[in-house]
Amino acid sequence: MEWTGARYADRPTVEVHTWIAASPAQVWAVVSEIELMPRMSAELQSVQWLDGRSGPALGARFVGRSKHEALGEWATTSHIVEYEPQRRLAWAVEDPQHPTALWRFTLEPQNGGTLLREWMQMGPARSGLSFAIDRMPDKEQKIVFVRMREFEANMAFTLQETKKLAESAQAAAEAAV
């Protein structure tokens, strides 16, 4: 990620992608099982579906509990705002109409496997990062840049772990045939 000089109000985004030697169905089985995500993240500690749900659906909600050395511990409620099995899964953090962040997985069949993208947008609503910016407004661009770099690194790790799980499941499915 290159320096952009972005401010929080610019709604900065980051996207990472990887090709996975597994079908979209195998990749979807991993990314839609959000309870797996804490295993793939240094920051996300736990995820719990709300309202009696056990999986994603449009409008479904879940609580994510996170921990960061500089930001402390917090919990957020996310709302599934895009749900197309084997294609797209997106959630808005806190208010779906005015989220603190948007996150999205996109799956695309490619070369006998799946191209998986993870994308996120910071803001537009205030988040925990806003308090750091309030304390050091002259450092806002650096704060935003550093946080976006952290997101990028964490997302790359998530995709690497997703790739391992999906390719392992694909190999097991093929061996069982």
Single out the residue of 14, 10, 16, 5 nearest to residue 163, CA to CA.
16
pLDDT value at residue 1: 64
- SS3 of 141, please? helix
Residue 110 maps to which CATH number?
Answer: 3.30.530.20
pLDDT in tens, 16-29: 999 999 999 999 99
Count of CB atoms situated within 10 Å of the CB of 26: 22
Range(s) of the domain holding residue 36: 12-172
Amino acid identity for residue 81 in this structure: V
User: What confidence tens digit (pLDDT) does each residue in 40-75 have?
Assistant: 888 899 999 999 999 999 999 999 999 988 888 999
**Averaged confidence pLDDT in the chain:** 93
Question: Does the residue 6 lie in any domain?
Answer: no
On whether residue 3 sits in a domain, the answer given is no
Inter-CA distances, 53 with 24, 28, 37, 99, Å: 23, 18, 17, 21
Q: Give me the amino acid identity at 40.
A: M
Q: Which tens digits make up the pLDDT trace of 76-127?
A: 999 999 999 999 999 999 999 999 999 999 999 999 999 999 999 999 998 8
- Does residue 177 form part of some domain? no
Interstrand relation of 44-49 and 61-68 (parallel, antiparallel or unpaired)? antiparallel
In terms of DSSP bridges, do strands 61-68 and 13-20 run parallel, antiparallel, or are they unpaired? unpaired
Number of domains in the chain: 1
| Residue 4 predicted with pLDDT over 80 | no
Question: What whole-number distance in Å separates Cα of residue 100 and Cα of residue 117?
Answer: 20
- Residue 52, domain member (yes or no): yes
Q: pLDDT-derived band of residue 128, with 50, 70 and 90 as boundaries? A: confident
